[in-house]
């Protein structure tokens, strides 16, 4: 009787572990650090390899790029096309205020690229397969008007994922300035380049929790075998 109880308890624990631990591992392997910043690095590598000047990484632009994809999150077609046209005014009336961009420092957006994909792609693939995937986007990237760049990305629970690049011709540190260096931004989902908050922030505590859970599980198992 006792043995049977132990066994069913074991099976139950095992079941719980498989249900809870596995998704946690999958999630934690999904996104590391700040892939939006990695994409900015890849953009600059691509430009400098072509002897073009590098672009300044602007957190203000990055935060607005994240706002842009936040708004477009529901609008990825089956062909991975972002079917979304936010009004121009949204930049000054919604995105900038949400980010705490100081309005007098709002500069000129010289270009934007938006893309979506059913599944999450690593930064280098996001660059070549989502953002700069054709001649049109490549020539937009190489436009000499740009001096600054920002990248935002966000994903729904099981995809699709959205990426946005914004370019501007502003002067380093004097356009798209974030109030209080962005400390007040409530970044709940996704991530943006130049931010000190990594994408995976929300997942770290969950991973820690499951690690503890897993350790308990193993100790119980060992204890029983013993
Ligand atoms: C998203 O798609 C819906 C349905 O096609 C459309 O009504 C809406 O305007 C789109 N959102 C934006 C911000 O363009
Ligand atoms: C570069 O971008 C600027 C600002 O958006 C635009 O006016 C210009 O036509 C673009 N140049 C080329 C060569 O596409
Ligand atoms: C820059 O990126 C484009 C688009 O992915 C690619 O075709 C090109 O080879 C890259 N250039 C360099 C020098 O890496
Ligand atoms: C811009 O600001 C950063 C961080 O405050 C600083 O490290 C950098 O030197 C500044 N760049 C310019 C060109 O002022």
Q: Is the distance from CB of 163 to CB of 69 less than 8 angstroms?
A: yes
pLDDT digits (tens, 9 = 90+) for 167-199: 999 887 788 998 877 776 766 789 999 988 887
pLDDT digits (tens, 9 = 90+) for 9-60: 555 555 444 445 544 444 444 567 899 999 999 999 999 999 999 999 999 9
Which atom of ligand 4 approaches the CA of 172 most closely?
13
Whether residue 23 is found in the same domain as residue 129: no
Number of domains in the chain: 2
Which CATH number fits the domain that encloses residue 77? 3.40.33.10
Closest CA to 185 of 62, 26, 9: 62
Could you tell me the distance, in angstroms and rounded to a whole number, from the CA of residue 136 to the centre of ligand 3? 13
pLDDT at 218: 60
The mean-pLDDT minimum among 9-18, 111-120, 132-141 falls in: 9-18
Boundaries of domain holding 136: 32-198
Q: Is the CB of 145 under 6 A from ligand 2?
A: yes
pLDDT at 88: 92
pLDDT at 133: 95
Give percent above pLDDT 70 in the chain: 73
Closest CA to ligand 2's atom 5: 110
Closest CA to 110 of 166, 171, 153: 166
Whether residue 50 is found in the same domain as residue 107: yes
Q: Is the CB of 110 under 6 A from ligand 2?
A: yes
- Detail the DSSP E strand segments found in 10-147: 56-57, 109-117
Tell me which ligand sits closest to the C-alpha of residue 129.
3
User: Dihedral angle at the C-alpha atoms of 211, 197, 153, 192, nearest 10 degrees?
Assistant: -170
Closest CA to ligand 1's atom 14: 84
- The helix (H) or strand (E) run that includes residue 152 is strand 148-155
Whether residue 98 is found in the same domain as residue 43: yes
Structure tokens at 178: 């974030």
Whether residue 165 is found in the same domain as residue 87: yes
């Amino acid at each position: 009787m006792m043995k049977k109880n132990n066994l069913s308890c074991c099976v139950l624990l095992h079941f719980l572990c498989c249900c809870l631990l596995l998704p946690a591992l999958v999630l934690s392997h999904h996104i590391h650090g700040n892939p939006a910043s990695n994409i900015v690095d890849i953009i600059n590598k691509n430009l400098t390899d072509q002897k073009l000047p590098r672009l300044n990484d602007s957190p203000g632009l990055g935060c607005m790029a994240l706002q842009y994809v936040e708004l477009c999150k529901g609008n990825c077609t089956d062909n991975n096309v972002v079917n979304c046209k936010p009004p121009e005014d949204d930049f000054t009336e919604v995105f900038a205020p949400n980010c705490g961009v100081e309005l007098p420092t709002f500069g000129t957006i010289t270009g934007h690229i938006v893309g979506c994909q059913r599944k999450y792609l690593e930064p280098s693939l996001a660059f070549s397969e989502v953002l700069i995937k054709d001649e049109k986007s490549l020539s937009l990237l190489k436009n000499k008007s740009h001096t600054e760049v920002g990248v935002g990305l966000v994903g729904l629970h099981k995809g699709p994922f959205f990426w946005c690049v914004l370019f501007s011709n502003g002067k380093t540190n004097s356009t798209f300035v974030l109030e209080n260096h962005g400390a007040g931004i409530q970044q709940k989902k996704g991530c943006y380049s130049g931010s000190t908050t990594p994408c995976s922030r929300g997942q770290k505590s969950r991973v820690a929790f499951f690690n503890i859970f897993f350790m308990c599980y193993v100790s119980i198992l060992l204890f029983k075998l013993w």
